[in-house]
Amino acid sequence: MGTSKPEIRDGFELLRTGFDLSTTRKLEDLDPQGVTDVLICELFLSRKLAISDIISLSNKDYQTVVQSLLKQGIVRDRRQNRGQQPPNGVERRQQENE
**Cβ-based neighbour number of residue 81 at 10 Å:** 13
Q: What confidence tens digit (pLDDT) does each residue in 43-88 have?
A: 999 899 999 999 999 999 999 999 999 999 999 998 765 556 666 6
**Gap between the Cα atoms of 65 and 52, Å rounded:** 9
Cβ atoms of 8 and 90 closer than 8 Å:
yes
Asked if residue 60 lies in contact with residue 66, where contact means CB atoms within 8 angstroms, the answer is: no
Q: What is the pTM of this model?
A: 0.72
Please tell me the predicted confidence (pLDDT) of residue 18. 81
Q: Is the per-residue pLDDT at 10 higher than 80?
A: yes
